[in-house]
Structure formats: structure tokens, C-alpha cells
Amino acid sequence: MSFWHSEAVDASWKLLQELRQRHSFVLIGGWAVWLYTRALKSKDIDMLVDFEELSRMRRDLPIAKNDRLRKYEYRRGMVDVDIYVPHYSDLGLPVEYLMAETRIVEGFRVPEPELLLILKQKAAAGRVGSVKGEKDRIDIMALLASGAVDLGKYSRTCRERGLAGLPERLGRMIEESRTEFEVLGIRDLRKVKLLKARLLRELKGQ
């Protein structure tokens, strides 16, 4: 399933494969969600690297520093690559913490799904009303519907990392979501109702 133009998605996936062969990184963003869910593919590439790897990448690629958004950037054709590094980038969780809490999925190193959910929530909050914000919400519902996320672990992590308001906001998002489930192919209203009820129970620890 694709949310973006297929040509851009294909170019993004091809570039991602090339980067994986030459560099070591933790994949975040839409492509990481897709690896867990196989729902919506991505157009842009988002990754975490340490400074040693960043130095190697800068020898190979024309990477620019974006001080305003506290990240590094690389663009090839239609594909934007955003690169986040420890002790500089602000994603709502420390990059060094995210890089330590990972697993391998389909050959890619990705954050634990509970952390990926937090990152997607933080991204969505900053892109309300935009196309990318809509994609963030769909990605969030895809993660939840996939069963990959332990909502108890997610809630504990939010408390431990000073993000206690996120579970409440996630609950509201679950209650309000409808078109997000339709995009994911979940159109049976009874199934949507049951899924929402189960997610809200798990979120409340019931």
C-alpha cells in the first residue's frame, strides 16, 4: 500500500537499500513503521547515526547541517534523508537512548516499537493539519493495529521519560480515528469499534 506517488516511494526504497549496504544507522520514521506493519510505505528516509558514522557519510555524500531543526540533511532527487545525532538532535527522546533500544527487523536496525510510537506521536503533534501529519496518524494506527506495541510498556516508558501526557493524547487519537482505519483497509465499523475498545483497555492497563 502506498500513500505517496509510487515513483518517489520506489526511489526512496532503492536509496535506503544503498545506504544500508554502505553505512550503519538506526532507521526511524515511516519506513521503520512499514517494516513492523507492512501498511504504508514512505517517501522520506529518517535515521539515527553516531558522529563517527556521520563523518563517514559526509565523505561519501553532500550532507548539509540544519541548525534550526538540529539535524543533518541529504537529498537525492525526490527523496529527503534526515539524519539525527546524539547530544544535538531533539526528537522527544534522546538519540543515544533510542540507539541503545533497538531490534533487527528485515535486516534493518530499528527502535523498539513502543519508542517508535512515541517518536511518531511527537512528529504528529508538530504537523497537525498537514499531509505529513495525516500520514503520521495513519502510521500510529498501523502500529497499534499490528499488535507490535506493548501499550503497558509504552505507558511505563512515557512516565519514566517525562512524557506522561502522551498516553492520554494517544487515547484521544484512538477515539477520534476513523479515516485512518479506512486507509489501512479496516472498514468494518464493528471491527473498528472492537479494536478501539481493546486498545483503550490495554492503554489503561485493564
Can you tell me the distance from the alpha carbon of 72 to that of 198, in angstroms, rounded to the nearest whole number? 39
Where does the pLDDT of residue 132 fall: very low under 50, low under 70, confident under 90, or very high at 90 and above? Answer: confident
75 pLDDT higher than 90: yes
181 pLDDT higher than 70: yes
42 in helix, strand or coil?
coil
Mean pLDDT, the chain, as a whole number?
94
Q: Give the residue carrying C-alpha cell 489503561.
A: 204
116 pLDDT higher than 70: yes
User: In the 8-state DSSP scheme, what is residue 49?
Assistant: -
Q: What structural domains and CATH numbers belong to the chain?
A: 6-203 (3.30.460.40)
Q: Check: CB of residue 167 under 8 Å from CB of residue 158.
A: yes
Burial of 201 (0-12, 13-18, 19+ CB in 10 A): exposed
Contacts of 89-97 with C-beta under 8 Å, sequence gap 24+, read 89/48, 91/28, 91/119, 91/122, 92/118, 92/119, 92/121, 92/122, 92/163, 93/118, 93/119, 93/122, 93/161, 95/48
pLDDT digits (tens, 9 = 90+) for 17-54: 999 999 999 999 999 999 999 998 999 999 999 999 99
pLDDT for position 206: 53
Q: Give the lowest-confidence range in 45-59, 118-132, 139-153.
A: 118-132
pLDDT digits (tens, 9 = 90+) for 158-170: 999 999 899 999 9
One-letter amino acid at 112 equals E
- CA triple 178-183-185, angle to 5 deg: 95
